[in-house]
A and B are shown apart, each in its own frame.
Chain A
């Protein structure tokens, strides 16, 4: 395994939804060795070329630790699967800043049928970025979206991951827990405009869940988002509200498609993800060398339009600036 895998069979396997090939492709996009990284870029290019631009649904699930995202994702994977879609879950957990290690898993595979080829679960450590999305997450979504109809991206909701996940998902779902003060924190942090859907989990708690829902609606009203952003109460534990959740997700995707913005949004978000990768790898320094943030964005946009994948576009900018 000291040479990167052959692309031809790998691409074919991923597009056919082969478990082993999808897993190998994900390991390839996580690989930091130069030869592998180059091959990973080529893999993404080919997968993008073979995946219809409007295929599938990428759903980001975020929210503070402990709100029950994992059991919710588990229930949602089951629901989406029963509706006939193949489903992949990418679960991102933070790495320990001291050791670089991470504890992953402890979640979604539990009640799923290991014999069902239409379900795939992969965990990923965020790497050096405490609370951010893993650097390879964007590439991983490209791999998974080529193989599965629905791709769920679960993040711990710490630090920048709520806003990061927006760049790789069509629909962002924010999960909050009743009586936790979460809502207030979101208002303070000014991220009420990011999610496309709010979930109050643990609806089985009754009245406190209703209170949390009301608080959310009030906050949304104040921000002028109330008309478009639905708020749902769910309980993964007692199976309440999951049908409504699936319906709301479908509705959001349909709205994107009808307004013609699904593909455009994906393109716009890919640029944002590239910008994020750029600052992660090279910091403000490269932005300055590239002629400022606006100029860097314009050039990334152009490269992406020409068919580059985000990681590749970032590398090209870096080379042009005499880095990397």
Chain B
């Protein structure tokens, strides 16, 4: 019997150090994984070395730290890059990690033409939801185009950009919005490339190398239709806007990580069912089947998954690919009038939004003005409101919450997640210092000068970056050189322009509570929402800020990537009654301790601090005993009850 070849099976992974991650990759491949998906830590993603102050607590936390060529070689030690298919989730620093990858392959004897895989290299969604940008949009897009143009010529089998709508859905996008903004992003990149004066043939091959990284949520029928609509619009865009004649080059190609947003902390074992169903959305329809799939683990809302948890997710893929008969049939959905109609609706709504964005100046303008961000924040607020009201059922969270005690979470779940050895960060810092000491300092300095010079000129940055990789330049040094030339950037938070959320009536009990508190303490309670560290996932902080305002708080929110010192300064100067910290990277113990210390130093020790994030119970206990007033995790989905808690905290502090 003729079976289709399965998609590439991957697991998004990496942590602690390059050598620990290398061991993990080898184990995953031995279990039947057919490609690698590298998770980098936040300092690597945002261009800081492990010994930079902003990197404290974040090194090796959400992924592997790669500070230089030596790290890259350890990471892929014993893995043949000439035959590997490697996906790298890397954006702001994508040209640099690609330079390290090319230089590392070169040392293995693998020429660039043999390399296959993906760099995400999609900066736009970083401004909208994920937050790991480093430069303003203009220069960032130039870097994107540099990598794309370099790869199309020198690394022809590599996907140098993976337009990523994944995080848009995480930020609250509807299927129509996810599709529309992914296309707008692709258009921005293609237009940028075209403006560089390349001919139609080259433009067509760039179009052909452009792939997508989508999200697939639990409403899997709608997701299939979204993908079919995606393929139709992509084909049309290639033909009409970019004159791509070869239909093969207009094929919609994508990889997927199914939705983590819908994974719950309550009854986390249910997430296994969710993950499998979400996988159907990207595999059922053969014509739009994913080229590569990675599944999250059942316990992601609790903390970092262990190798065992990743294995469980990999097995789910293998069962669908090898045990079921899915791969034996042609497209199952062709000819279904139901699917065709829903596909048409999504396609038309998405295209209308594409046209709106293009008419108002394009995606970069829409990002800079906060327009798109505001729409996403609004969609997310609506989604949360549906869950809170019970209109949208989440099993085990707002319905069917009765549960047997879970044997998977014995000891409060302390053993059910991966703990990062705190010594890993120290180890990484030491090895970085040793690396800097042993390299040829003059050669590194000269290579950095060349990077700066290339950045100032119109030249492609890749050759200078690859030369810098060979010369032993570090990630932080490369990024600092570009920050010198192009400057830093802060994206709009999207919360300023939000209309009040239509939740509750005007005199809701919560508003009354807040008004009463205001009378007791003489002014409206003032909440400072802070995001310390490098974690850019700001959706939670934004929703709390909005809802607190709607409840009658005065809210100060200054966006992502604040240092503990900045947060303490703001708390004291603003006369905040309570500080709320949001930390999703897992660095909560370090960052909270530093923030509390900074507050003490400024005489702000009487200001209560609450913390929200992916925080295991054991860590929550540590935080509470160190003086934190409340800890909130994903199981606290009722925003009103969180805000009620804040009222309580302020009242106690002023009693």
Asked if B575 and A101 make an inter-chain contact with CB atoms under 8 angstroms apart, the answer reads no
Choose from B557, B559, B654 the contact partner of A1 (Cβ within 8 Å).
B654
Q: Would A103 and B549 count as touching, CB distance under 8 A?
A: yes
Q: How far is the CB of A294 from chain B (nearest CB, A)?
A: 34
Does the CB pair B548–A114 fall under 8 Å?
A: no
B82 touches A (CB below 8 Å): no
User: Which of these binds chain B: A118-126, A169-177, A226-234?
Assistant: A118-126
Contacts of B515 in A (CB 8 A): 100
Q: Tell me whether chain A's interface is mostly helix, strand or loop, or mixed.
A: mixed
Segment at the interface with B among A18-26, A51-59, A75-83: A18-26
A316 contacts partner chain B, Cβ-Cβ < 8 Å: no
Cβ–Cβ < 8 Å partners of A114 in chain B: 563, 565-566, 568-569
Q: With both chains docked as a complex, state the minimum distance between the C-beta of B502 and any C-beta of chain A, in angstroms.
A: 11
Contact code string B565-590 (vs A, CB < 8 Å = 1, else 0): 11011101111000000000000000
Asked if B496 is an interface residue, CB under 8 A from chain A, the answer is yes
CA distance A222 to B306 in the complex (A): 74
CB contact under 8 A between A101 and B554, given known A26-B575, A122-B575: yes
Among residues of A, the one whose C-beta sits closest to the C-beta of B525 is: A101
Given contacts A2-B654, A32-B522, A101 and B550 within 8 Å (CB-CB)? yes
Residue on A nearest B598 in the bound complex, by CB: A114
Interface size class of B (residues with CB under 8 A): 35 or more
Which B residue sits closest to A26, measured CB to CB?
A: B575
**Residue A110 interfacial (CB < 8 Å):** yes
Assembled-state Cα–Cα distance A106/B541 (Å)? 13
Residue among B518, B524, B566 with the most chain A CB within 10 A? B524
The reply to whether A106 and B549 form a contact with Cβ atoms under 8 Å apart is no
Residue from B545, B570, B572, B603 in contact with A103 in the complex, judged by beta carbons closer than 8 Å: B545
Contact in complex: B552, A99 (CB < 8 Å): yes
Contact A20 B603 (CB under 8 A): yes
Taking the nearest CB of chain A, how far is it from the CB of B608, in angstroms? 12
Q: Shortest distance in angstroms between B247's beta carbon and chain A's nearest beta carbon?
A: 42
**Is there a chain B Cβ closer than 8 Å to A319's Cβ?**
no
| A110 and B521 alpha carbons, distance in the complex (Å) | 29
Chain A residues near B558: list those with CB within 8 A.
105-107, 109-110
- Is A96 a contact partner of B549 (Cβ separation < 8 A)? yes
Given contacts A96-B500, A103-B557, A106-B495, contact A36 B549 (CB under 8 A): no
Instruction: List chain A residues, Cβ under 8 A from B101.
Output: none
Q: Residue A149 at the B interface, CB < 8 A?
A: no
Report whether B569 and A105 are in contact in the complex, using a CB–CB cutoff of 8 Å: no
Contact of B554 among A98, A104, A115, A121 (CB under 8 A): A104
Contact present for A115 and B500 (CB under 8 Å): no
Question: 1/0 contact trace for A12-42 toward B, CB 8 Å?
Answer: 0000000110111011001111001000000
Interface hub of A27, A106, A109, A120 (most chain B Cβ within 10 A): A106
Q: Does B559 contact A106, Cβ atoms closer than 8 Å?
A: yes
CB distance A103 to B555 under 8 Å?
yes
A24 to B577, CA, bound (A): 12
Chain B residues with CB under 8 Å of A123's CB are 556, 574
Contact between chains at B574 and A122 (CB < 8 Å) = yes
Indicate if the CB atoms of B521 and A106 lie closer than 8 Å. no
A125 / chain B contacts, CB cutoff of 8 Å:
524, 554
Nearest chain B residue, comparing its CB with the CB of A238: B487
> Across the interface, which residues of A come within 8 angstroms of B522, CB to CB?
30-33, 36
Say yes or no for A7: interface residue by CB 8 A criterion: no
Contact A99 B523 (CB under 8 A): no
Cβ–Cβ < 8 Å partners of A104 in chain B: 554-556, 574
Q: Report chain B residues within 8 Å CB of A103.
A: 495-496, 498, 545-546, 549, 555, 557
Whether A102 sits at the interface, judged by CB under 8 Å, is yes
Query: Once bound together, how far apart are the Cα atoms of A26 and B545, in whole Å?
Result: 23
Give the complex CA separation of A122 and B575 in angstroms: 8
Complex alpha-carbon distance, A51 and B508, angstroms: 46
How close is A111's CB to chain B, nearest CB, in angstroms?
8
Contact B574 A99 (CB under 8 A): no
Let me know if B575 and A102 touch, CB within 8 A. Answer: no
**B553 close to A (CB within 8 Å):** yes
B490 with A110: CB separation less than 8 A: yes
* B16 is an interface residue with CB less than 8 A from chain A: no
Contact flags B528-568 to A (C-beta < 8 A → 1, else 0) = 00000000000000000110111111111111000101101
CB B23 to nearest CB in A, in angstroms, measures 40
20 A-B pairs in the complex with CB atoms less than 8 angstroms apart: A2-B654, A20-B604, A23-B573, A23-B575, A30-B575, A99-B511, A100-B552, A101-B550, A101-B551, A101-B553, A102-B524, A102-B555, A103-B557, A104-B574, A105-B555, A105-B557, A106-B557, A106-B558, A122-B573, A123-B574
Q: Using a CB–CB distance below 8 Å, which chain B residues touch chain A?
A: 488, 490, 493, 495-496, 498, 500, 506, 511, 514-515, 518-519, 521-524, 545-546, 548-559, 563, 565-566, 568-570, 572-575, 602-604, 654
The 3 lowest CB-CB distance pairs between A and B, nearest first, are A31-B522, A105-B556, A114-B569
